[in-house]
Amino acid sequence: MPTKSTIQKGKLMATIPHSGEEIPPEAHWLKGLDEITLMGDVDRFVDHLYETSLEKLQIPYVKTQWHRYAADLNRLDTDVDAEAVQGSSTPIGTYPRGFHWVYSTRGEKILLSPLTPEAHQKLVERVYHPFHHDVRELADSLQGLNKNIVIYHLDLHSMPSLGTPQHRDPGEYRKDVVVSDSKGKSCSEEFKNLVIDSFEELGFSVAYNWPYFGGRLTEQYGRPDQNHHVVQVELNRALYMDENTKKIKMELAEPLKNKLFKVLMGIHNAIKC
């Protein structure tokens, strides 16, 4: 297995696409939902857990304030079906949790009627384009004119501790962390191993590519042949929050933040130019 000393040097960046809780004005259907339902699939507090460490280590990152049920940034803006957007030629049921979430992972119907194409496009313009513009701009700024500079990219998420009937692993208890790389396509083996090793060294249990393979962010930006390596990191919510009330447990979250700082520092120091 490659060691930290053998990985090619480069620059580290991060994305946090699912921690936003603000409802866009176009997403009127979300405004009447209770907090438990509304926060059921948000990566709540992930920004709180990582941001201080990212800033302390001077690791640049992009995040959004917008709620993922309205417009999911780990999807393509074309990941919609006829139940999500009027006139879509994609059959109902193709994207129940696509760019616009029709159903939650607990089977609750979130979007009661399809959006008009105009409403869909407004959300694309408000949410999708600015975020992905910022991601591309950040990656470009890290490389500058030298495309030989290697970019290492952490896409930071959270996950339920137990797989729901809508997941690939219904009823299964998850590890502390799941690391995914689009089945080996979005990054080098060395970077994937570095991320896994860095978590395991701090006592986290880690699964690889199960039950998550990576999302559209790893697919879009993970181009090892172009020196952009992306891994998706899912953090078990039971490590820091009450999954029933969706409230943070500070007595767990603060020690966890310290451990995550050490994880990030280990990754950062191993690849720092």
Give the residue-averaged pLDDT of 213-236: 97
- Could you list the residue range(s) of the whole structural domain that residue 137 is in? 11-68+115-271
What pLDDT, on the 0 to 100 scale, is given for residue 3?
52
pLDDT higher than threshold 90 for residue 210: yes
47 contact partners, CB below 8 Å, separation of at least 6: 16, 19, 63
SS3 track for the chain: CCCCCCCCCEEEEEEECCCCCECCCCCHHHCCCCHHHHCCCCCCCHHHHHHHHHHHCCCCEEECCECCCCCCCCCCCCCCCCCCECCCCCCCCCCCECCCECECCCCCECCCCCECHHHHHHHHHHHHHHHHHHHHHHHHHHHCCCCCCCEEEEEEEEECCECCCCCCCCCCECCCEEEECCCCCCCCHHHHHHHHHHHHCCCCCEEECCCCCCCHHHHHHCEHHHCEEEEEEEEEHHHCEECCCCEECHHHHHHHHHHHHHHHHHHHHHHEC
Q: pLDDT band at 189, cuts 50/70/90?
A: very high
**62 alpha-carbon distance from chain centroid:** 11
Which pair of structure tokens corresponds to residue 27?
């997403």
Judge whether 100 lies within some domain. no
Judge whether 106 lies within some domain. no
Judge whether 265 lies within some domain. yes
> What rounded mean pLDDT belongs to the chain?
96
Q: pLDDT band at 52, cuts 50/70/90?
A: very high
pLDDT higher than threshold 50 for residue 17: yes
What pLDDT, on the 0 to 100 scale, is given for residue 5?
56
pLDDT higher than threshold 80 for residue 30: yes
Q: What percent of the chain has pLDDT over 70?
A: 98
Q: pLDDT of 146-182, one tens digit each?
A: 889 999 999 999 999 999 988 999 999 999 999 999 9
Q: pLDDT of 110-123, one tens digit each?
A: 999 999 999 999 99
Q: pLDDT band at 145, cuts 50/70/90?
A: confident
What pLDDT, on the 0 to 100 scale, is given for residue 147?
87
Q: What percent of the chain has pLDDT over 90?
A: 95
Give the residue-averaged pLDDT of 229-242: 98
Judge whether 162 lies within some domain. yes
Judge whether 141 lies within some domain. yes
Q: Which among 70, 53, 29, 89 is positioned nearest to 261, based on CA atoms?
A: 53
pLDDT higher than threshold 90 for residue 1: no
Number of domains in the chain: 1
Judge whether 207 lies within some domain. yes
What pLDDT, on the 0 to 100 scale, is given for residue 159?
97
Judge whether 248 lies within some domain. yes
What pLDDT, on the 0 to 100 scale, is given for residue 2?
46
Q: What is the CATH number of the domain that holds 37?
A: 3.40.630.40
Judge whether 232 lies within some domain. yes
